Amino acid sequence: MLDLPRSLRVEPRPPNAPHRVWRDWALLGSLVPLAVLEGFLRPDLPYRVLTVAIGVALVPTLLWRRTAPLAMLVIAMATTGLAPFFTDGHPPESGTMAYLLLLVYALARWGSGQEALTGLAVIFIQTGVSTAAGHATPTNAIAGLSVTFSALTLGATIRYRAGARTRMLDQAKLVERERLARDLHDTVAHHVSAIAIRAQAGLAMAPTHPEAATEALALIESEASTALAEMRTMVRVLRKDLPADRTPTPGVADLDQLAGRARSGPPVDVGVVGDVGDLSPSVDSAIFRLAQESVTNARRHARHATRIEVRVAADATSVRLRVTDDGDTAPIRREAGYGLIGMIERADLLGGTCEAGPNEGRGWTVTAVLPRSGATA
């Protein structure tokens, strides 16, 4: 419990806080007329002109509520706290000024831990001064603090959920990067082994067959170039030391493993068109992994589906994967799950694309397009 205040003080601001979006300007454009309109429609409002002026003057603080939440809250608290001293003890009572709760929410959502603690102290001080000066009754003060804490709690909850989702997405990407790194480790080891064998053969045949040694050098150069390209890709994705996975890496030739009827779920029909014999090992493995994940997702989420089709088409420059089903488009499938995030990450790291979405009418389709040779940088 003693560590809680300390951990809150060192809590940084959430990254990538939006500055201003069109909704902010729309909010600004609606609140100003509403504040003026309330002043006209409420002749009983104490000190109408000053109250409306304060309400209008504080509206622009909403534009900086994400980038400077503490400063905007202090400005609002100071203004509303000092106003009763110029209105014979009448605090601003404009209903439109309820928008100031957005500043409280923004402090918990976008401020650092130290800013949140400071803002909370400012709120307590302002409430205490107003109550001591007789500008607010204890009952009103308690009610105001309750509403304020509700806004703070909502902001903190949204912040926690957004942070948790970001961490889960990062974890999904990291897992896919680690899988790809293991696959690349195996392909690089294969090419290096081939280089060693070709070099040994060239050395053995050089005294009697010089042309065979030249041919071996050409093959070594080809294998070395491929291994270098694979290593460059591995450097891009490797986040930490990973043990080599000795399990053979499946590829396009192994897609038939996905075909047929599983114990549960619709049957899978696999079709391959074009030359897939000389695909880059990383691309060959990626096509299988993407198809495997897509089929797993379809069997898990495609309600009332009767078939799943896996189609691979290769040409001179790229290979295209298309996995489609005829199930109902359930709402849960409309958002990108963590498996799809990993698929997109793998395709992007290899210089390709991966997209998923509902078909017209029924079904869901995953489409991936990868270059035959994979990413080279």
pLDDT at 60: 92
Confidence of residue 182 (pLDDT cuts 50, 70, 90): low
Q: How far apart are CA 278 and CA 188, in angstroms?
A: 16
* 350 falls within a domain: yes
pLDDT at 230: 62
Q: How far apart are CA 13 and CA 162, in angstroms?
A: 13
Q: Note whether 26 and 59 are same-domain residues.
A: yes
* 177 falls within a domain: yes
pLDDT at 245: 42
Q: For residues 375 and 164, which has the higher predicted lDDT (pLDDT)?
A: 164
Q: For the chain, where are the E strands, in sequence order?
A: 268-273, 308-314, 318-325, 353-358, 364-371
Q: How far apart are CA 319 and CA 215, in angstroms?
A: 30
CB 297 within 8 A of CB 344: no
CA dist list (Å): 211 to 196, 200, 207: 18, 15, 10
* 256 falls within a domain: yes
* 232 falls within a domain: yes
CATH number at residue 199: 1.20.5
Q: Does the pLDDT at position 70 exceed 50?
A: yes
Q: Note whether 32 and 129 are same-domain residues.
A: yes
Interacting residues of 87 by C-beta distance below 8 A, sequence separation 6+: 46, 47, 50, 51
Domain with 266, as residue range(s), is 252-371
CB 270 within 8 A of CB 310: yes
Q: Two tokens at 145? A: 């603090």
Q: Note whether 83 and 116 are same-domain residues.
A: yes
Q: Note whether 83 and 13 are same-domain residues.
A: yes
* 264 falls within a domain: yes
Q: Note whether 73 and 129 are same-domain residues.
A: yes
Q: What is the total count of domains within the chain?
A: 3
Average pLDDT over residues 201-223: 71
Confidence of residue 241 (pLDDT cuts 50, 70, 90): very low
Interacting residues of 90 by C-beta distance below 8 A, sequence separation 6+: 46, 47, 84, 135
Q: How far apart are CA 282 and CA 229, in angstroms?
A: 10
Q: What 8-state DSSP symbol labels residue 225?
A: H
Average per-residue pLDDT for the chain = 79
pLDDT 10s digits, 8-21: 677 788 888 888 88
pLDDT at 226: 65
pLDDT at 243: 41
CA proximity to 101, closest of 153, 40, 139, 53: 153
Domain end: 213, 237, 261, which one? 237
pLDDT at 3: 56
Q: Note whether 180 and 284 are same-domain residues.
A: no
pLDDT at 262: 53
Within the chain, what is the greatest distance between any pair of CA atoms?
A: 111
Q: What are phi and psi of 263, to 5 degrees?
A: -60, -30
User: Which has the minimum average pLDDT: 89-93, 224-228, 303-307, 350-354?
Assistant: 224-228
Confidence of residue 154 (pLDDT cuts 50, 70, 90): very high
Q: Two tokens at 61? A: 């603080």
Q: Note whether 261 and 329 are same-domain residues.
A: yes
Average pLDDT over residues 101-117: 89
Average pLDDT over residues 218-246: 58
* 286 falls within a domain: yes
Q: How far apart are CA 277 and CA 75, in angstroms?
A: 68
Percent of the chain, pLDDT > 70?
Answer: 77
Structure pTM?
Answer: 0.53
Q: Does the pLDDT at position 39 exceed 90?
A: no
CA dihedral 296, 301, 302, 307 (to 10 degrees): 20
Confidence of residue 73 (pLDDT cuts 50, 70, 90): very high
pLDDT at 215: 74
Q: Note whether 350 and 230 are same-domain residues.
A: no
Q: Note whether 227 and 256 are same-domain residues.
A: no
Residues in a beta bridge with 218: none
Q: How far apart are CA 295 and CA 323, in angstroms?
A: 7
CA proximity to 99, closest of 159, 40, 57: 57
* 147 falls within a domain: no
**How is the chain split among helix, strand and coil, in percent rounded to 5?**
65, 10, 25
Q: Note whether 7 and 129 are same-domain residues.
A: yes
Confidence of residue 192 (pLDDT cuts 50, 70, 90): low
Q: How far apart are CA 163 and CA 116, in angstroms?
A: 17
Domain end: 190, 211, 237, which one? 237
User: Which has the minimum average pLDDT: 78-92, 148-162, 226-240?
Assistant: 226-240
Q: Note whether 278 and 354 are same-domain residues.
A: yes
